[in-house]
Chains A and B, each alone.
Chain A
Amino acid sequence: MSTLHRILTIALFNLRSLPERKGAALTAAVGIAGVVGVLVGVLAIAEGFRRAMTVSGSPEVAIVLRSGADSEMTSGLDRDAVRTIGDAPGLARNEAGTLVSAELFVIINLPKRSTGTDANVPLRGVEQGAFAVRDKIEIVAGRRFETGRNEIIVGAGAARAFAGLDIGRQIKIGQNMWDIVGVFTANGGLAESEIWADAAVLQPAYHRNNSFQSVYARLASADAFHSFKDALTTDPKLNVKVDRLSDFYAEQSSMVTQFITSIGVFIAGMMALGALFGALNTMYSAVAARTREIATLRALGFGSGPVVCSVLAESMVLSLAGGAVGAAAAYLLFDGFRASTINWQTFSQVTFSFEVTLPLLGRAVVFATAIGLLGGLFPAIRAARLPISSGLRE
């Protein structure tokens, strides 16, 4: 009979006796379920935000900003620069020419549907090329705006989150009224939080003359990025920086995702401490309730090792069960839940969906197991150290 078999035997015996201690066992499992649920919930926010920011960031799309700008808000490019960028090597083409879109980025105030309070909403002036430059922009209701007209289309996320963004209605932007003519999706990406208009119409509305803030450009291939970048950054007439859109969005999302992750880990850490004491209490109670049984097993010849392992196994089974329930509850409650938050790089709202991913669930299970391991360790050592002769008299 192997040691492993002995451990399994005692562990199985422990687990079979769980119904006799179901109150304490349930308390510990529910505590751990709560911790895991909160952890998964908060990390799902970070994951959803990161996904919203990065899903539309194709490595085959480049973004050009003025050198030194860390966001579109602080960037500025004149018409000549835009023309030079559009003529650079390495760009994808269609019958109309290279696939580029010179864009404006401004912030407008709109009330949130949920609270009625004003929030910053990004309004993007784009050229018709924007639809070809970006992946997976799809009009899901209405139509595209017409060039030269005061028409806007709204991202599906923005349409859900902010009041008054319904097709057929008008909103006031600057000094003018604008017709809402369509709703678009962007595969859950950042653009869904935005409102789009014709850049050429938006420029005079915001007194931008003939300037833009960014140029989005589709590359002939991902490998063409370097030749495109080199051509622009070595051109003495230009003063620009060039990034892959995927890298740009990843960098833009990093501060918020790190903040949310830190908050999540902190909250879950505090709760985990409580759950840890719950698990410790449960396992100490379990050991105390079974002092005589443990002493009997040891009197029969079962060594300390199997006893320690069996107590640990029980603790970890409880934790895993709690963790699984917490993770499942978090998945059911949070996955796909829509929310919006501010992106501190642009000071505008980003709408996103909570994302409960498999790796996230895996991390939660590891977390629950760690609580179980720690919660069971000291009671297990206590069980193994109890003098057999006094344990038999309990």
Chain B
Amino acid sequence: MNTDRPPLVRISGVTKNFKRGSEEVHVLAGLDLDVPEAEFLALMGPSGSGKSTLLNLIGGLDRPTRGSVQIGGDRVDELSDRQLAAWRARHIGFVFQFYNLLPALTAERNIELPLLLTGLNKARRKQQVAAALEAVGLAHRARHFPRTLSGGEQQRVGIARAIVTDPTVLLCDEPTGDLDRKSGDEILALLQSLNQRHGKTIIMVTHDPHASARASRTVYLDKGQLSNTPVA
């Protein structure tokens, strides 16, 4: 862990409670976390421990009940819905467990989607889509629809879509959870390469110790709190 870099992500005293009927469920309890720029952080923990909730808070998909979420100096928890949407488009790249590609669009059109929210013209968009496809090794599959791609290829398209706008942070929610070991290893190698060669800050939620071993740091979430050691 490189502690001399200023934290790109700063989570301070974040509490998240959900209502389930009349019952209030406490998912995160006054949690603190700093993630420096260019770190590859793995976030582990048992099911229901709140890993995805924390990732959603960092990605501006949800708001904390209390506490602050600061990314690159922006107080994400204070933005309006409209501002949040624009902020996500600019700063966050999401990689989902089940890829979340739009089935009606080809790989390149899926990758182009986030660029439609930028001011880039068609030629520049095409250029960036080609670069992203090249980066994930799928230039030859650009015009294929998701249903004609393997799981590993679909996740590569998902990663290409996440990096095409060169976001501040890459948030990966179980990116290898739906893949076999070989495809999973390829995806992890790709994420590692994005982190090590291109300095991408990555926060990855995973169950898999094999996956977390690729990260530069692993933190463990249990009972709403983080620790640096695995939960017993």
Chain A residues in contact with chain B, CB under 8 A?
A: 1, 5-6, 9, 13, 16-17, 20, 292-293, 296-304, 387-389, 392
Contacts and interface: CB of A to CB of B under 8 A. Distances in A.
Given A292-B100, A296-B100, A301-B86, A1 B116 contact: yes
Given A1-B119, A6-B117, A299 B59 contact: yes
B82 to A, nearest CB: 6
A211 B127 CA distance: 93
A392 B56 CA distance: 10
Contacts of A304: 81, 85
Contacts of B103: 17, 20, 293
B118 A1 contact: yes
Chain B interface size, under 10 / 10 to 19 / 20 to 34 / 35 or more? 20 to 34
Nearest to B120: A1
B25 interface: no
Contacts of B100: 292-293, 296, 299, 392
| In the A-B complex, the 4 residue pairs with the closest CB atoms | A301-B89, A17-B104, A16-B104, A296-B100
A299 B94 contact: yes
A134 B94 CA distance: 79
A300 B102 contact: no
Interface in B80-126: 81-82, 85-90, 94, 96, 98, 100, 102-105, 113-114, 116-120
Given A296-B100, A300-B88, A13 B105 contact: yes
B62 interface: yes
A296 B102 contact: yes
A20 B104 contact: yes
B56 A296 contact: no
Interface of B: 52-53, 56, 59, 61-62, 81-82, 85-90, 94, 96, 98, 100, 102-105, 113-114, 116-120, 161
A298 B102 CA distance: 13
12 contacts: A1-B116, A5-B116, A9-B116, A16-B105, A296-B100, A297-B113, A300-B114, A301-B88, A303-B81, A303-B86, A388-B56, A392-B61
Contacts of A6: 116-117
Greatest chain A CB density within 10 A among B53, B87, B102, B161 is at B102
Greatest chain B CB density within 10 A among A20, A300, A302, A387 is at A300
A303 B82 contact: yes
Contact of B117 (A1, A16, A293, A388): A1
Contacts of B81: 303-304
B89 A389 contact: no
Contact of A389 (B62, B85, B87, B114): B62
A149 B108 CA distance: 88
B148 to A, nearest CB: 15
Nearest to B114: A300
Contacts of A293: 100, 102-103
Greatest chain B CB density within 10 A among A9, A292, A299, A388 is at A299
B10 to A, nearest CB: 21
B61 A300 contact: no
B89 to A, nearest CB: 3
Contacts of B102: 13, 17, 293, 296-297
A303 B85 contact: yes
Greatest chain A CB density within 10 A among B82, B87, B113 is at B113
A17 B117 CA distance: 21
Contacts of B114: 300-301
A299 B119 contact: no
A292 B103 CA distance: 11
Contacts of B118: 1
B104 A13 contact: yes
Given A296-B96, A297-B102, 9 more contacts: A6-B117, A298-B85, A299-B59, A300-B94, A300-B113, A300-B114, A302-B89, A303-B82, A387-B62
Greatest chain A CB density within 10 A among B62, B100, B114 is at B100
Contact of B85 (A20, A302, A387): A302
Contacts of A292: 98, 100
Nearest to B119: A1
A293 B82 CA distance: 19
Nearest to A391: B61
B85 A301 contact: yes
A20 B85 CA distance: 28
A292 B97 CA distance: 12
